[in-house]
């Protein structure tokens, strides 16, 4: 797969391009802070040399030629007088360096999560703007996982580790420079030795990390899918007692996921103890070497102190850099997935090419299939529908009724042929302005877990709801009695997906919602199938009576539903079989 071939640096660059200008600036400032913090750290490490020097051999220190200008400047009279200020200097340098470090951690954590927030919004937003055909080809678990889990993974596996990696590398670099100044041979052998071992570790673990990263990305989607399906089909699970089967499905996804996560965590954390021990052994060896070749112990203690302190700071930094890098590799596959979401284009609509439906809708030679390699579902459909008419659709199940209306709504674009409204072809350019004219009531209406009134005035902020219009819609949809019988009337919560309502009540809320939206075109796709015939009659009569200039499209299996239609289209064999009126039915 191409996924594996993509270089991680290249992927990080692509991610960078999706991060906003503002965050770019903040991240750049963060980098400056990293450099600054590292310098402070070096100063605090460096201040150990005079400090240890004066403790071990005060006279030698006091008489040191290169320090005379400073000693004269502060007017120190003896070595004892210098001890106090030096101690103070050492302590304050250490506290200052620690403080900056803490601030750095604070800022980088905040910034990582804020960037993660931006990315997850961006993923969701771009996904919502994708055309309908993209959504029907995709499993919703992928999206839920992309927005919720994988952006988390990007924070914890990419952004935070990357910042850690960067700040530790800056630190390592500066400590290396400082130690080289102190004693090039010792510094290079200690740092080079440890560095080589980490490079070797990266080389050895990369393959394993990438394999696990793919597992984490794939199995986390499977896990959400199994959750959604289990909870979604709870009625059947309870009836058939198949809890164990569903739990096993979940287990099969969760086990490899956790195992891969654990393996990656182990790979990034494990070298730490070995490396710390190794570092100390190296320093001990250097000390031993000096005692063998050199004269006085006093003269090398400051150097050894600085080295020990340097190594003591540097080892965790190297470990942090290594852990950062291996964590990034372990999140690579999720990063690839997130980037795919982030690369989704938001279709641009052109506001100048308005479609204001005033006259006629025409299907012109429309042919449609869902996938390239699939058979045609509809072939050469030609029909003109004047504004204000009521059109019925009948035909066997699977004959393409819903598909035809999805094309009418511009949710699906014809494979060939054109949908023409008032002489203008419906194209991605003017799609939005066409769709603004339409409201659609499917057989299985989506209700949000809110109050009845919020479900009728759907998506409208509570304080902007027009109560009179809600009442009118409710009365046409024959819902007044139902709502009046509820304890909290319009403020009754309908439950998730409307579980607290009957099928027919849900359908009528869908109709009321569509009426509230005041659209020029109303599409009822078996939207009254759950109502008894008398209620259905009343609803449809009321709709036809109150909204005479609405263009109404109705799909029904029950012919009596279509009594008010001006004409009825019968679909069969991928095309329009005949157009007839109600009496002919
Ligand atoms: P019903 O009366 O059962 O609602 P319908 O007339 O509305 O049926 P459509 O839903 O339009 O039928 O489906 C027409 C054909 O298109 C069916 O054969 C169906 O299998 C196929 N089809 C529907 N949706 C898809 C899809 N997303 N991908 C591929 N084929 C599809
Ligand atoms: Mg259908």
Query: What is the per-residue pLDDT across 7-20, written as a single tens digit (0 to 9) for each?
Result: 888 999 999 999 99
Average pLDDT (452-461) is 83
Rounded Cα distance, 317 and 156, in Å:
18
The winner for highest mean pLDDT among 217-226, 442-451, 555-564 is 217-226
> In angstroms, what is the span from residue 370 Cα to ligand 1's centroid?
9
Return the structure tokens found at 378.
Answer: 């509809």
Average pLDDT (453-473) is 83
Asked whether the predicted pLDDT for residue 123 surpasses 50, the reply is yes
Q: Is the CB of 399 under 6 A from ligand 1?
A: yes
Query: What is the per-residue pLDDT across 65-82, written as a single tens digit (0 to 9) for each?
Result: 767 777 777 777 777 777
Residue whose tokens read 């203008």: 424
Task: Report which ligand 1 atom has the smallest distance to the Cα of 443.
Answer: 4
Q: What is the pLDDT of residue 298?
A: 63
Asked whether the predicted pLDDT for residue 548 surpasses 80, the reply is no
Three-class secondary structure of residue 270 per DSSP: coil
Which has the higher per-residue pLDDT, 331 or 294?
Answer: 331
Average pLDDT (459-480) is 82
Asked whether the predicted pLDDT for residue 308 surpasses 80, the reply is no
DSSP conformational letter for 565: -
Rounded Cα distance, 488 and 156, in Å:
45
Residue nearest to atom 17 of ligand 1 (CA): 398
Choose which residue among 134, 136, 398 to substitute to test ligand 1 binding: the one with the highest number of ligand atoms within 8 A of its C-beta.
Answer: 398
Which has the higher per-residue pLDDT, 353 or 388?
Answer: 388
Asked whether the predicted pLDDT for residue 1 surpasses 60, the reply is no
Q: Which residues contact 317 (CB under 8 A, 6 or more apart)?
A: 168, 171, 172, 175
Asked whether the predicted pLDDT for residue 556 surpasses 80, the reply is yes
Contact call for residues 313 and 45 (beta carbons, < 8 A) = yes
Which has the higher per-residue pLDDT, 566 or 86?
Answer: 566
Task: Report which ligand 1 atom has the smallest distance to the Cα of 395.
Answer: 6
Rounded Cα distance, 210 and 518, in Å:
54
End-to-end, the C-alpha distance of the chain in Å comes to 56
Asked whether the predicted pLDDT for residue 117 surpasses 80, the reply is yes
Average pLDDT (538-545) is 81
Q: Which of 45-54, 86-95, 144-153 has the lowest mean pLDDT?
A: 45-54
Q: What is the pLDDT of residue 72?
A: 77
Average pLDDT (158-166) is 89
In terms of C-beta density within 10 A (0-12 exposed, 13-18 middle, 19 or more buried), how is residue 140 classed?
exposed
**Which among 83, 282, 312 is positioned nearest to 189, based on CA atoms?**
282
Q: What is the pLDDT of residue 4?
A: 47
Q: What is the pLDDT of residue 405?
A: 92
**Which among 441, 456, 443 is positioned nearest to 509, based on CA atoms?**
456
Q: What is the pLDDT of residue 197?
A: 84
Q: What is the pLDDT of residue 534?
A: 82
Question: What is the band of 3 on the pLDDT scale with cuts at 50, 70, 90?
Answer: very low
Q: Which ligand is nearest to the CA of 571?
A: 1
Q: Which of 55-64, 144-153, 243-252, 261-270 has the lowest mean pLDDT?
A: 55-64
What is each CA distance from 276 to 175, 191, 284, 487, in whole angstroms?
A: 17, 12, 12, 69
Rounded Cα distance, 401 and 442, in Å:
12
- Pseudo-torsion of CA 289, 294, 298, 302, nearest 10°? -60
Q: Which ligand is nearest to the CA of 375?
A: 1
Q: Is the CB of 400 under 6 A from ligand 1?
A: yes
Residue nearest to atom 31 of ligand 1 (CA): 370
Average pLDDT (503-517) is 86
Rounded Cα distance, 122 and 115, in Å:
11
Average pLDDT (177-186) is 77
Rounded Cα distance, 324 and 158, in Å:
8
Rounded Cα distance, 522 and 327, in Å:
53
Rg for the chain (alpha carbons), in Å? 36
Q: For the chain, count helices (H), then strands (E).
A: 24, 10
Strand partners, 424: 421
Cβ neighbours, 10 Å, residue 106 = 10
Q: Is the CB of 223 under 6 A from ligand 1?
A: no
Q: What is the pLDDT of residue 299?
A: 62
Choose which residue among 368, 370, 392, 524 to substitute to test ligand 1 binding: the one with the highest number of ligand atoms within 8 A of its C-beta.
Answer: 370
156-170 burial code (b ≥16 CB/10 A, e <16): bbbbbbbbbbbbbbb
Asked whether the predicted pLDDT for residue 208 surpasses 60, the reply is yes
Q: Is the CB of 395 under 6 A from ligand 1?
A: yes
Return the structure tokens found at 465.
Answer: 């709801």
Query: What is the per-residue pLDDT across 513-531, written as a single tens digit (0 to 9) for each?
Result: 888 888 889 998 888 887 7
Query: What is the per-residue pLDDT across 248-298, written as a single tens digit (0 to 9) for each?
Result: 989 999 999 999 999 999 988 888 877 878 777 877 777 777 777 765 666
For the chain, the residue count is 585
Which has the higher per-residue pLDDT, 350 or 419?
Answer: 419
Rounded Cα distance, 46 and 25, in Å:
32
Asked whether the predicted pLDDT for residue 5 surpasses 60, the reply is no
> In angstroms, what is the span from residue 556 Cα to ligand 1's centroid?
15
Strand partners, 567: 391
Rounded Cα distance, 361 and 419, in Å:
7
Q: What is the pLDDT of residue 28?
A: 92
* pTM assigned to the model: 0.79
Strand partners, 441: 524
203-225 burial code (b ≥16 CB/10 A, e <16): eebbebbbbbbbbbbbbbbbbbb
Q: Which residues contact 219 (CB under 8 A, 6 or more apart)?
A: 253, 254, 256, 257, 260
- Pseudo-torsion of CA 31, 36, 42, 44, nearest 10°? -130
Q: Determine what percent of the chain is predicted with pLDDT higher than 90.
A: 16
Q: Is the CB of 389 under 6 A from ligand 1?
A: no
Rounded Cα distance, 32 and 422, in Å:
60
Q: What is the pLDDT of residue 476?
A: 84
Q: What is the pLDDT of residue 485?
A: 82
Question: What is the band of 107 on the pLDDT scale with cuts at 50, 70, 90?
Answer: very high
Listing DSSP states for 362-382 in one string gives EEEEEEE-SSTTSPPSEEEEE
């Amino acid at each position: 797969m191409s996924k594996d071939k993509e270089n991680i640096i290249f992927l990080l660059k692509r991610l960078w391009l999706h991060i906003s200008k503002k965050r770019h600036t903040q991240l750049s400032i963060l980098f400056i802070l990293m450099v600054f913090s590292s310098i402070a750290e070096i100063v605090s490490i460096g201040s150990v040399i005079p400090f240890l020097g004066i403790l071990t051999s005060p006279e030698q220190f006091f008489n040191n030629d290169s320090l005379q200008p400073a000693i004269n400047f502060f007017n120190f009279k003896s070595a004892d007088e210098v001890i106090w200020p030096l101690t103070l200097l050492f302590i304050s340098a250490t506290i200052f360096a620690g403080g900056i470090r803490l601030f750095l951690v604070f800022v980088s954590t905040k910034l990582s999560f804020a960037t993660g927030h931006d990315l997850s919004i961006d993923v969701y937003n771009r996904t919502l703007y994708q055309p309908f055909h993209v959504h029907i080809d995709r499993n919703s678990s992928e999206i839920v996982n992309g927005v919720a889990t994988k952006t988390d993974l990007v924070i914890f596996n990419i952004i935070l580790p990357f910042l850690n990696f960067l700040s530790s590398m800056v630190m390592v670099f500066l400590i290396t420079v400082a130690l080289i100044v102190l004693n090039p041979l010792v510094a290079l052998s200690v740092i080079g030795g440890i560095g080589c071992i980490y490079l070797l570790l990266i080389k050895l673990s990369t393959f394993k990390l990438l394999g696990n990263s793919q597992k984490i990305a794939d199995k986390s989607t499977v896990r959400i899918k199994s959750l959604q399906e289990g909870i979604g089909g709870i009625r059947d699970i309870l009836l058939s007692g198949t809890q164990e089967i569903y739990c096993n499905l979940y287990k099969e996804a969760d086990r490899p996921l956790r195992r891969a996560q654990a393996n990656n965590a182990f790979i990034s954390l494990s070298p730490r103890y070995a490396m710390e021990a190794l570092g100390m052994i190296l320093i001990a060896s250097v000390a031993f070497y000096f005692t063998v070749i050199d004269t006085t112990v006093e003269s090398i203690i400051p150097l050894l102190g600085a080295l020990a302190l340097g190594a003591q700071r540097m080892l965790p930094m190297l470990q942090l850099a290594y852990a950062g890098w291996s964590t990034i590799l372990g999140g690579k596959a999720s990063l690839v997935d997130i980037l795919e979401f982030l690369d989704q284009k938001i279709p641009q609509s052109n506001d100048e090419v308005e479609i204001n439906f005033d006259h006629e809708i025409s299907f012109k030679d429309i042919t449609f299939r869902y996938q390239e390699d699939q058979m045609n579902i509809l072939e050469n459909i030609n029909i003109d529908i004047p504004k204000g008419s009521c059109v019925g659709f009948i035909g066997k199940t699977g004959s393409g009724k819903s598909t035809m209306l999805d094309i009418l709504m511009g949710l699906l674009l014809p494979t060939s042929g054109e949908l023409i409204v008032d002489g203008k072809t419906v194209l991605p350019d003017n799609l939005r302005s066409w769709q603004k004219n339409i409201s659609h009531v499917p057989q299985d209406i989506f209700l949000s877990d809110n109050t009845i009134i919020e479900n009728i005035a759907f998506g409208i902020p509570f304080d902007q709801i027009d109560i009179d219009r809600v009442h009118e819609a409710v009365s046409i949809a024959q819902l007044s009695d139902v709502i009046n019988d509820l304890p909290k009337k319009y403020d009754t919560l309908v439950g998730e997906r409307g579980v607290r309502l009957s099928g027919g009540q849900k359908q009528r809320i869908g109709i009321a919602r569509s009426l509230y939206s005041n659209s020029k075109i109303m599409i009822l796709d078996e939207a009254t199938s759950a109502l008894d015939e008398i209620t259905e009659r009343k609803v449809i009569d009321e709709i036809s009576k109150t909204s005479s200039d609405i263009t109404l499209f109705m799909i029904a299996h029950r012919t009596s539903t279509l009594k008010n239609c001006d004409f009825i289209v019968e679909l069969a064999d991928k095309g329009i079989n005949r157009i007839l009126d109600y009496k002919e039915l």
